[in-house]
Structures are given as C-alpha cells and as structure tokens.
Structure 1
Amino acid sequence: MATAAWERLLVTPALYRYRGVLGEPEASEALARLEAELDWQRPSLRLYGREHPIPRHQVWMGEPEARYRYSGRDFHPLAWHPAVAAIRERINHLLTSRGIETGFNSVLLNRYADGHERMGWHSDDEPELGEDPVIAAVTLGSERPLRFRWKHGSGEAFNVWLPHDSLLLMGSGCQSSLQHALLPRRIPGLRISLTFRRVLSHAERH
C-alpha cells in the first residue's frame, strides 16, 4: 500500500483528507468492479412541485433498517456488495485507529460519468443521521474538487480536491456549519463516490 497520511483541512469544524485508502491495484480494481456490477439508478426527485431526474446515477446500500428519506422519497437500501463491504471495513479500521467509532450501517454511492454530472448544494443533516453526524466519503476515479461554503457567511467558500483512492472525513460540526456541492467542471473521466454514514433506528430518533 502506498504511503498515506491524514491531512487536517479545518479544525472547527473537523475536516480531514486521507490519500491512499486502498492502494493500487486494489483501488482501480474496485472502481471497475463497482462500475460493472452495481445496479445504478437515476431516480427523480420532486423540487418546487416538479419531478427532475438527478444529474448522476446512484445506489443506496446498507443494513435493512437503514432507510432514508430525501426530497419526499423513501430510499430502501440494497444489500452490501462484497467490494463495498470491504471498503467499509478499511474505512472503519482507519477511523478506529484514530479513536473514532462510527457504526456506519449504510452508504450512498454516486456515479458521475464525467465532469458535467454533478451534485447540488446541500448538507447531510437529515433527521435520520442524528444531531452531529460523521460522514466518510471515498473517491474512486477522476479527481474533482468538492466545493464548500459557510452557512452563516463566516468565511470564504473553498475547494477540497479529492483524488482517486482518497477519503474525506467530515466530522463534528461540518453539517451544521457548511454546505458542499460537486459543481460541473470540464474534467473528463468516470468518478464514483461512496459516502458512508450511520442512519439512526426509529427508536434512536425519538
């Protein structure tokens, strides 16, 4: 495995990047396998009373109880794919070695065919994720910048470049303080992101 290290991007809120999650050739093999073997979907979401297909493809995966509601739609997870389960195991090892217990029980995979496909501004702050969720996002494929902006105008917007085989850890305070987006760019190549999270059970939400 290639030499890798944590980079602290922000202290408050906690934002870190890690390069070399899987190493090669494992990372490229995982990209090819996920591209070929997953049942990629392009659902429509209701915005301002109209249905719009999302500008990317996605798969929601995890434990059976990890149901998720977004933009008026309920998402029921598919069972873990072996390659995704192996990546989760690697992420859990990286984080527990830093004293971070996550309990990730689900992952949202997004497939971007090229730089024109995108993700709009949002925070991962749905009630199902709890008051202060920890989100771990793995990038496979084409390097693109994730754009961040402060919710309350307390600083300038900034980019975090996410290369192939990297992990972005959005820790305490990120979702309450920041929004993020993957904006369109003239960058060629396939990119798949895996955003690991913990969805609370019904009992934990009440």
Structure 2
Amino acid sequence: MPMPSTAWHTLLDSPPLWRLDGLLGDPAATRLLHRLAAEIPWERPTLRLYGREHPIPRHQAWMGDPQARYRYSGRDFSPLPWHPALLEVKAEIEACLAGRGQAASFNSVLLNRYDDGEARMGWHSDDEPELGEAPLIAALSLGAERPLRFRWKDRRTAAFNAWLPHDSLLVMGPGCQDMLQHALLPRKGRNHPPGLRLNLTFRRIQPRQR
C-alpha cells in the first residue's frame, strides 16, 4: 500500500525535490537488496572521454520495455528484460506518486551498484533527449546510506546534500534536471565506511525522433 502523505519530506519546493522514507518497509526492502545484488547481471561498461576508454566507477544494469533505448556518452544502450521484482517496485512507486497527485508511467530503470565508498558517480543532470523536456524521475535507495550532492547550475546558492537512507525514494520533479546537477561523491576514511548500496532510478524514455 502507498505510504501516507505525512511520510513525504520536501527538500525543495521549486523545482520539486521530495523524499519518501520507508517505501517498501522492512524486511521487504532488505530482501530486495540481497535479491537484486545476487540476481541482476551487473556490468561495468566503459565510456569514451577525451579519446580514451574508461570503466565507470560503479556497476550498473539497464532494464525496461524493449523500446526504452537511449544514448549516453556516445554509446547506445538497449534495456534488458524487466526483473519481476522491479515490476512490482515500479507499480508501488507509481501508486505512491499518484497518491501525491503526480501521474507517472515508467518504462525503464537504471540500476547502479556501489560496493564501497570508492564507488561513485560524477556531476551530471539526467537531461538526455530521450527523457523529454521536463522529466519526473524516481530513485529508490537500498542498503548503505549515502548523500546525493546537489548544486545549482547558476550557482545561486550553496550546494547541498540529500541524505538517502535504506528504503527511501527520491523524486526529482519537472525542472530539476534543467536547474540542478547531482553527484554521488566518494566517501573515504574510517569515519565513512559505507557498504553495499543499490540505486534504482525509474524513468520514462520517449520514442526517438527519426
């Protein structure tokens, strides 16, 4: 069942940036973490930067409907078929968003796996043409809590952290990708010993224009 509206936290009003704690509840969320860690065919693809191939600093998988293809950093990505557990999560997220007055119909999910504090993702916006002009993106975090760092593209105010605990859902509403960048920065040292974290980012890929 969708969580009550009181479980939502507003991180920004404009553009809308929200967090919902306890989407699935435990032990379901922990079971899902271990199931996906064991059953997803994780890869570590390489991307071309400045004329050289570099492996990304994390593992990932792309799943969704057959037509949900996209292009990133000069490479074309075609989705793997849906894992059945992810279809259930997708339906749960869509129901939660509907309860908040946000209609969503996702056709794909990007899964990122961070095994330790060295695994990371650099600064970027999810603004590929296939996502449309003002996408709504919902990301479920499982496992070790880490902060997603945000900064304004026009540097109007200081950067800030959105802490994402186990079983939390981050919703980046329309305008977030136009106005903000985000990154998962490395967490090193004895005081920051994060373990396994999975991030499931649900999106809607638009048909390519020919």
Structure 1 length as normaliser, TM-score?
0.96
Aligned length: 204
- The aligned counterpart of 1:84 is 86
Q: CA RMSD in A?
A: 1.4
- The aligned counterpart of 1:161 is 163
Picking from 16, 25, 28, the partner of 1:26 is 28
Q: CA deviation at 1:188?
A: 2.3
Q: Distance in 1 between matches of 2:167 and 2:183?
A: 19
Q: Deviations over 1:47-70 (max 9, x none)?
A: 111100000000000000000110
Identity across matched positions, percent? 65
Deviating above 4 A after TM superposition, structure 1's stretches of 4 or more consecutive aligned residues are 1-4
Residue correspondence of structure 1 range 7-156 to structure 2 within 5 A:
7-156=9-158
Q: Distance in 2 between matches of 1:139 and 1:47?
A: 28
- The aligned counterpart of 1:201 is 207
Structure 2 length as normaliser, TM-score?
0.94
Tell me, which stretches of 5 or more residues in structure 2 are unaligned? none
> SS in structure 2 opposite 1:23?
coil
User: Does structure 1 residue 188 correspond to structure 2 residue 190?
Assistant: no
Tell me, which stretches of 5 or more residues in structure 1 are unaligned? none
Q: Distance in 2 between matches of 1:28 and 1:115?
A: 20
Q: In the alignment, is the contact (CA less than 8 A) between 2:146 and 2:194 conserved in 1?
A: no
> SS in structure 1 opposite 2:60?
strand
